Amino acid sequence: MVRSLKARGLAGELAAEFVGTMILILFGCGVVAQVVAAGIGDHDSIAWAWGLGVTLGVYVASRISGAHLNPAVTIALAVFKGFEWRKVAPYALAQTAGAFLAAMLVRWNYTEVLNAKDPGLTIKTQGVFSTLPGNGTLPVGDWGAFRDQIIGTAILVLVIFAITDLRNTSPGANLAPVVVGFLVVAIGMAWGTNAGYAINPARDFGPRLASWLTGYDTAFTDQYGFPYWWIPIVAPIVGAVIGGAIYKYLIERHLPAGDPLDAMPAKDLEPAN
């Protein structure tokens, strides 16, 4: 997302990705717990809190790591923007670990209301932490959810590339996190039906693991009993590459050349050791 010219070292970058993703999930899973378990709020509050969580997480991490906060985004940057492949796995692990810790905090903080709402810790409240086809209730199968996650993540990465491209109509470093947050709100409001708009492998797997470790025995399956955990991992990666390709070959290649700073390749704006 917003990228820094200064080198901070890989350890610092991983710490930033860890904390930034943790902030994202604290707001995201926190609001879903509040709505589902306590009945406070609705779909719109969920969409807005997720979007604001992204904005705040980016502000926390962007100066140090670029604030990917999403393994699919990291992979897309490696494929199309020169991000170093050797950093992809460490970034993904840091992002997932941050999401896991945040979900554990949400699970702990909302223990009483979750147990009161769903004493058996079932599919009824599993969606607080991880996504399900049709949000666990609507007639959507696993392959419908797979399709949905490809499309949603392609939209995410396509627009992120546009927002952060200095040769395009970029909002600038200070406002880019806000615009990216609005993007996530819009995806939540328009693409949340079929699969809960995970669009982020770390966002889904970290909290899914946390819920399984704290009593949700069905955390890795869907309401049909099929293994579902891999879909919000694989489909967003596929979608991210598609979205990045659309931007690169249909938009970026047609942008006018700018001055030396505006024309600076994205890889030069990424943090480096």
The pLDDT profile of the chain, 273 residues, written as one tens digit per residue, is 444 434 469 999 999 999 999 999 999 999 999 999 999 999 999 999 999 999 999 999 999 999 999 999 999 999 999 999 999 999 999 999 999 999 999 999 999 999 999 999 999 999 999 999 999 999 999 999 999 999 999 999 999 999 999 999 888 778 999 999 999 999 999 999 999 999 999 999 999 999 999 999 999 999 999 999 999 999 999 999 999 999 999 999 999 886 534 433 344 334 433
pLDDT of residue 258: 67
Closest CA to 115 of 105, 100, 125: 125
User: How many CB atoms sit inside 10 A of residue 227's CB?
Assistant: 10
Q: How far apart are CA 137 and CA 115, in angstroms?
A: 20
Rounded CA-CA distance 221/178 in Å is: 34
Fold designation for 8-252: Glycerol uptake facilitator protein (1.20.1080)
The DSSP string of 51-65 is HHHHHHHHHHHHHHH
pLDDT of residue 257: 80
The number of beta carbons lying within 10 Å of the beta carbon of residue 104 is: 20
**Residues 6+ positions from 254 with CB-CB distance below 8 Å:** none
In sequence order, the 6+-apart residues with CB closer than 8 A to the CB of 136 are 123, 124, 126, 127, 222, 223
Tell me, what's the pLDDT at 8?
Answer: 60
pLDDT computed for residue 265 by the predictor: 39
Domain ranges of the chain: 8-252
Give the Cα separation of 63 and 12 in Å (integer). Answer: 11
The pLDDT value recorded for residue 247 is: 98
CA neighbor of 56 nearest in space, from 31, 19, 85: 19
Nearest to 77 by CA among 160, 175, 150, 186: 160
Task: Residue 97: name the closest of 185, 205, 216, 240 by CA.
Answer: 205
pLDDT at 271: 43
pLDDT at 2: 40
- Which helix H or strand E contains 108, and what residues bound it? helix 88-109
Contacts of 185 (CB under 8 A, 6+ apart): 47, 48, 50, 51
Please, which residues have CB within 8 angstroms of residue 133's CB and are 6 or more apart in sequence? 140, 141, 142, 144, 145, 194, 195, 222, 223, 224, 228
